[in-house]
A and B are shown apart, each in its own frame.
Chain A
Amino acid sequence: MPINYYIFLSICLFSIGIIGVLTRRNAIIIFMCIELMLNAVNLLLVAFSRMHHAAAYAVDNASLVGAEAQIFVFFIMVVAAAEVTVGLAIIVMLYRNIHSVDINFLNRLKH
């Protein structure tokens, strides 16, 4: 399958993520949208990794070219998981304090 399809899919996912982040006010949904964006990137990384690896494999079947990208994906997943943990904890604390997860109420940091 050509790489273009993956790229288009990735762009779509990413855009949905961005629009979600920009338009929604619920913190949890924003979180999910951020995850969506991360996964869009992950998808892209994996796709490119496969592509480059396939090209290199044809020349030398011991080649590891392209494998790094897949390591990145793991990193991103781990970081995202960590982020979600911290983020959700913050959201829970927020909910306990102001009984809402609407980010429009969270503008006190500007002071």
Chain B
Amino acid sequence: MFAAVDNFPALLIWLPLIGGILSFFLNDAKSAKSSAIIFSASSLIVLLVSLNFTAKEFIALNQVSYEWLTSIGSSFGLYLDGLTRTMALLTAIVFFVVFILVPADQYKDANRFYGLLLLAQCGLVGVFLATDALVFYLFWELALIPVYFLSSIWGGEKRIRATFKFFIYTFIGSLLMLLAILYMYNKTNATSFGLGAFFNLKTTADEQFWLFIAFFIAFAIKMPLFPLHTWQPEAYEQSPTPVTMVLSSVMVKMGLFGVLRWVMPLFPLAVKQLNTAIMVVIAIGIVYASLVAIYQDNIKRLIAYSSIAHIGLMALGMLTLKEVAVVGALLQMFNHGINILALWMIAYIIEKQTGITSISKLGGLAKSAPVLAIFMVITALANVALPLTNAFVGEFMIFNGIYQFNKFLAAFAGLSIIFSAVYTLNMIKNVFYGEANSTTIQFSDINKTQVLLFTVLTVLIFFVGFYPQPFFDLFSDALGLVLTRYNS
């Protein structure tokens, strides 16, 4: 089927791009949906095939670089290692699920809706695959723009305000990053934008400090880290839920991924200098976000704050520079994507049927929708990182690393374990348990397709929770670049 394995990276970029453009020319919503499903499914298949290759044989074949803007030294470099395969797999799964979940008639101009989503997928995969800073930046923006349009066209009441804020916020970060990229480009005597070339640059601690700040702010906004997080609850609340799924499952991982792929290898001196201070802020942010989540009544905002806490934890793990925590964070990036996707699916199903997002106005759904309730409980357990769910493995390793870094920081960040139980169980209690009211009593349980989707996600949750070893094998080739400069 595939001529050569080295087509994988290119296929992953082209499939959604072609699908996205094609979708704009389809007038029929149904066919737009099926074409979107076909294109995202083929991306997924490409990735699943690529997972069959072990790390060694893979690297040799999957570092491709096309001639692009040769005159300024930028080449279209794509690279598919264990880390990017995981992230691309997550992206493919999320988009596939979203396309199946969203019915063709829910949004007006469905063809454009699907088309923009596919373009976003192209951008996201590109961000993960790029080894050239200019290409990275290009995809970084390419991922942002479709999401901006998706939210501002199909979003909620206050969508313009929310998306505008989201756009400006992330754009400021992007510009800082662009500045840093250009600075490094000039340091190479304007010969290359490549990650390798940047890696070999001799930069002083002072330069690294500012470059680090510029990159890190861009990524921190994207994640988002406290206190740069306020765009997120609003954007999640106002975006159409399918877009929110993409945003929170995959897009926020761009920031974490960026830290791993660009910041940590390139600026070791600055990372070592600043990580303690940043970690303290992040730890405060984790506990803070967990506490704020307890107070939320809107289910979407609650998930948003929960996500801020979890993402913060991953960032914390990465910055410890301990291998165990970095591996844990890698795994957790994938896990969190799956878990929060499932959470959003539940929020989406509830909102679609009842039109309610306020937790206090729901209740007793377990009576009318027992199957949904089961999946909710499983998802919630994964969200609070119960053992044998995927998140436990990741968080265990992250906390272990944080503990090695500093005991008290681990204990403090550990408070979020308790608070996460509080808000998650509160949500289950108020939405699913208790007496049903007039709205929730008529709620009809999820259909077969949705059961299937949830089952797939549940299997993933438990598989990774029981037996995470395949993922660790996958990551074995990804850590070299990240941590080499810290170990010596």
Do chains A and B make direct contact within the complex (CB under 8 angstroms)? no
